Structure 1
Amino acid sequence: FRIPSLVEIDGVLIATFDTRYLRASDSSLIDTAMKYSADQGKTWKTEIIIKNARLTDNFSRVVDPTVVVKGDNLFIFVGRYNTSSAPWVWQENGKDWDVLLYKAKVRKESAGGVPSVSFTWDEPLYLKHLLTSVGKIDGRSLIQYIGGVGNGIVTPKGTIVFPVQVLNTNKSVMNMLLYSSNDGKTWEFSKTSTPAGTTEASLVWWDGQLLLTSRTTPDVGSRKVYLTSDLGTSWNEAIGSISRVIGNSRYRNDPGGSGSSIAITVEGVPVMLITHP
């Protein structure tokens, strides 16, 4: 099990994650699973919610579920691969790649005083075509994108925002935003990206801006943090505060883990919590 995410809707705790049946590798047989609890974690139920296409026994996979909650709606963004054995960052093109967005309405119910949960799923949206709307970034075309992993966010104005990783023809990975201003009916990309070498990322709303904290490649060495107040039309690195403070690994020469970040309020004071495996 990898790529965990934990959210709450109307008192229902929902954890989503990769279920890797054969091995820990990113290129293996993988589905997206969910555990949920309607009684504050006392009891849990488990479901496989997004299945891969089952076109091979070893490599068909849906990967990196990235999650956003708006009201009673659960949005899950996944990448899908059917036959390729190579990790996505090694692939020459997007022939075996797709990206899908799933949406479920979550309803908490009670029968005889026993709480339960129902999920009503819409048909998934296929969003691969959106990449054609993005021009070249730093002079290079993009060939794939997948979720940033973990959680996205809903802004105070109601815009749903996912962090996504984009891959260019130089095999470099960067972060962009994928967002919707109409409750998920249509989606568009941010105008620009963070620099090459920024990979898995999570979003929080902080001091009136979107704050993106990102894992980086081994040559960069430390987590980078960027701020945007215009949905990714421009980015400013948070140098002098928290960017480059946390190393990817002990000696800053390994890729490290994806990490997570959330913003909460404790006794009236806004606090950001960052976990870093």
Structure 2
Amino acid sequence: MPLEEELSSYAARFAAALIDPGRATPSLVTGPNGKAAVRRYNVYRNNVTVSLIDALAAIYPAVQRITGVEFFRAMARFHVRASPPTSPLLLDYGRDFPAFIETYEYACAMPWLADVARIERAWLDAYHAADAAPLSRDVLALVPPERLADVVFTAHPAAGIVRSPFAAVTIFAANRGGEMPGRIDAGTPEDALITRPGMDVVVRHLPEGGAVFLTNLMSGQPLGDAAASALQSSPGFDIAANVAGMIEAGAFTSINFGEA
């Protein structure tokens, strides 16, 4: 067997039991003089798991603050065993953690927790997104009124939306700051717009109809169609306020008139 294939095979067999403590130490793992290295392998296995739990704690600090460190690390340990990393970049790990939280039995008393985690994941993605100059309100002001409905917007690389039937934005904000949060009515639906128009990531609570409007704009719908959908879903939708808000938030970078 060529050396490259041999090393690849060794790595695959070495890694196979790293996440699962119930699996035996691979027979190929030996110490000095060919002796079994069960203890050494277990130490390494524990270090890998702890590192992945630490990575999740760094990505989801608000979730950890809500649950407490002990609860969070126990939940994260189950996630690590169920979903080992598929990329060498720890930044990419834990994208499915919010979905795991939804299925985690002991978190069922906090049905909003998964959406808070989704906002935190979107926050991190926005932080590492590519730089781009946000759209200036002056550019939109140059569009003739009769053509405004046909305008198509290009989303900023850092822009994202998280919708929730719970007060996920308020809970997120209360648990990412240094102050102790007060009482929150978790049953109030809230939608979030996550952007990074400059150096700092900002999470905004979207007004009525805002999430439908922006989601459609980000998917390439013209302004008129996106506004009509928002009005259909939320009769109180205010198009002027929402356009002003999205420009202020830096959610888009440019405009065009589509293929027409």
If the TM-score is normalised by the length of the shorter chain, which range does it land in?
Answer: under 0.3
- The structure with the largest strand share of the pair is 1
Say which one has the larger Rg.
2
Higher relative contact order (CA 8 A, sep 6+): 2
- The structure with the largest helix share of the pair is 2
The two structures have a TM-score, normalised by structure 2, of 0.28
